[in-house]
Structure 1
Amino acid sequence: MTAVEGAAAPRTTPPKTKRRKLRQLTVRDRVILGLMAGIPTLITVAFVWVPALASIVLSFSSWSGFGDFSTIQWVGTENYKNIFTIYPPFDPAIQHNLIWLAVFFLVPAPFGLFLATQLDKQIRFSRIYQSVLFLPVVLSMALIGFMTELIFSPTQGLINNLTGHADHHVIDWMGNPHLNIWAVMIMACWRQAGYVMVLYLAGLKSVDPSLKEAAALDGANGKQTFRHVVWPALRPINVVVLVITIIESLRAFDIVYVINKGTNGLELLSVLVTDNIVGEASRIGFGSALATILLVISLAFIVPYLISMFREDERG
């Protein structure tokens, strides 16, 4: 016993020395963590939260954006009243944004999950498939808008030429306000599906394989394993997909602005905000009120879901 204790003694660090090392490491770690967390936080506050709060404040004003702040006239809720009563583009913009949001939830989200589950099976050439499916995400929405015009052009577009409508009975996909929103949605979903696929694929890679093996030993088939094992493990990814889907659907701008500047059936809230703030008739207060409404709509979808998830985590 004495020999063993004597042999083990040199490996033991004296309490005072150990505490001193921990204190030195703790101070350095606090400085590094403070810089890593503090600098991005300051940048986010300065370039995101301050402009957002400023927009909310300016939504209660009437200001052209020219001159100093002394020219600002406070009008209360007049901007919001005008938006809901005497601003014709607002109703179609709300409808189109809700359509965009619903389609993004019903098409790219489940389709991206399906693609991720197939690629996670380690099929042959899965890396090539993954790169090809993710390629549209690299393209900008403005470029997707140009591609939409090429594909759905009435006379020279790919769709009308393939269906034989290029010469006779031409279908004006972009000019018809009842069709152009759906043509644009097809291209937007094509891009969004690859984004969702990569997110879910990363989540599937993090699922413990032993859980799947245990479910298989218990007699569970593939669908049962996915439902009771894989899907609960993807909960954090579902939150990310939810937030990204809402943000991408509400901030859609480039693709419709390239086509017809967000008019004639392609009205969106983001386009109305831009037209009022940086348009010829600059109305900072009115545009800020539209931006505030857009912010409230996005939070109305995100906040309740996050609250319910936090409550479930506390119960668990």
Structure 2
Amino acid sequence: MSVSTNPSARGRKAVAPARRVRRLSRRDKLVLGLMVGIPTLIQLVLVWIPTLMSVGLSFTRWNGLELTDIKPAGAENYQFIAQDYPPFWPAMQHNVLWLAFLAFVATPLGLLLAVLLDQNIRGTRIYQSIFFAPVMLSLALIGIIWQLFYNRDSGLLNFVLGTAGTPQAVDWFGDSSVNIWAALFAATWRHAGYVMILYLAGLKGVDPTLREAAQIDGANSVQTFFQVIFPAMRPVNVIIIVITVIESLRAFDIVYVINRGTNGLELISALVIQNLVGEGQVIGIGSALAVILLVISLIPITFYLSRAFGKDKEA
């Protein structure tokens, strides 16, 4: 066997062949262009352009009929809303109440359902489907369904209370002192199922060794959940916080179905529609209300994105 004594051959390092980069064909570029361009165009036409137009119209006075009637108004619309528009501050209070109820009633209820269904009880799939079914329904349809429960003369709730058809019957959706609570319970029926599914996914993703380590350390089931499992679901908790805030802000369908967002059910989203659609429309006021709702909505969205991108940078 002969061994090469050429020093240049011995010192030469093996060089891996350059990886060939495949160039995109004209057809590939066309497909990629369509896949990126069409969603971007739809987003621009249906979201960003109307948003920018709403911001611009919020600083104008316009009756919505002729473009020549648009007149600049500066910040008068915002000043009017803050000082001389009676439904605005009750609507703000109702939105805060909506957020608090979803956060401290509906969300814990969804978490409780998720924990119970995570115990591998018999028929857990059936229970998951039952509790998740309202999530697939719109809030408008939920409002119609709950009218069957809350109807003053023939509703199931008054029938159970024995007051159906009597003067003592409660008009759950018509009485301004109780209709907000009736609407909140109806919204909870839907929101709890959504939270349940998210937490179920989070519980399935928790490392089983964490539970085992907690048991070895002598922690009971409650301590294990609140001190080990729940903190481990931090990404899911952030998502649920954002979803809860957004759900409380965009609640519109159910109150509009009940009484068009009046008589104790004023919400900012309902006020936007009241001023933009129908008789007596005030485009500037409605646009200013929409901008206020947009700014408030950006707070949880910014919070979520900052946490998501901050986590990516740490990784």
TM-score by length of structure 2 reads: 0.84
> In the alignment, does 2:234 pair up with 1:217?
no
The CA deviation at 1:41 is 4.5
Give the alignment of 1:58-207 within 5 angstroms. Answer: 58-68=57-67, 70-166=68-164, 167-207=166-206
Task: Give 5+ residue unaligned stretches, structure 2.
Answer: 1-13
> In the alignment, does 2:223 pair up with 1:235?
no
Cα separation, 1, equivalents of 2:63 and 2:285 = 9
2:5 aligns with none
2:6 aligns with none
1:6 aligns with none
2:263 aligns with 264
The CA deviation at 1:255 is 1.0
Superposition CA RMSD, Å: 2.8
1:72 corresponds to which letter in structure 2? I
**Structure 2 vs 1, CA of residues 26 and 202 (structure 1 numbering), >3 Å: closer, same or farther?**
farther
1:286 aligns with 285
- For structure 1, which segment, 210-219 or 246-255, has the greater mean C-alpha deviation from structure 2 after superposition? 210-219
Cα separation, 2, equivalents of 1:226 and 1:310 = 27
SS at match of 1:115: helix
The CA deviation at 1:14 is 7.4
Higher alpha-carbon Rg: 2
1:163 corresponds to which letter in structure 2? L
1:78-136 superposed Cα distances (whole Å, 9 cap, x missing partner): 00111112111112211111111110111111111111111112111100000000111
**Structure 2 vs 1, CA of residues 37 and 223 (structure 1 numbering), >3 Å: closer, same or farther?**
farther
Cα separation, 2, equivalents of 1:38 and 1:225 = 49
SS at match of 2:175: coil
The CA deviation at 1:36 is 5.7
SS at match of 1:244: helix
1:198 corresponds to which letter in structure 2? I
**Structure 2 vs 1, CA of residues 264 and 207 (structure 1 numbering), >3 Å: closer, same or farther?**
same
The CA deviation at 1:282 is 2.5
**Structure 2 vs 1, CA of residues 308 and 165 (structure 1 numbering), >3 Å: closer, same or farther?**
same
SS at match of 1:178: coil
**Structure 2 vs 1, CA of residues 130 and 106 (structure 1 numbering), >3 Å: closer, same or farther?**
same
The CA deviation at 1:211 is 2.7
Cα separation, 2, equivalents of 1:266 and 1:27 = 58
1:15 aligns with 16
1:8 aligns with none
1:230-274 superposed Cα distances (whole Å, 9 cap, x missing partner): 223322212221121111111111111111111111111111100
1:223 corresponds to which letter in structure 2? V
**Structure 2 vs 1, CA of residues 178 and 198 (structure 1 numbering), >3 Å: closer, same or farther?**
same
The CA deviation at 1:222 is 2.0
Contact kept in structure 1, 2:63 and 2:283, CA below 8 Å:
yes
Task: Give 5+ residue unaligned stretches, structure 1.
Answer: 1-12
Cα separation, 1, equivalents of 2:223 and 2:23 = 48
SS at match of 1:15: coil
**Structure 2 vs 1, CA of residues 154 and 54 (structure 1 numbering), >3 Å: closer, same or farther?**
same
SS at match of 1:169: coil
Q: Percent identity?
A: 55
The CA deviation at 1:310 is 6.4
1:64 corresponds to which letter in structure 2? N
1:273 aligns with 272
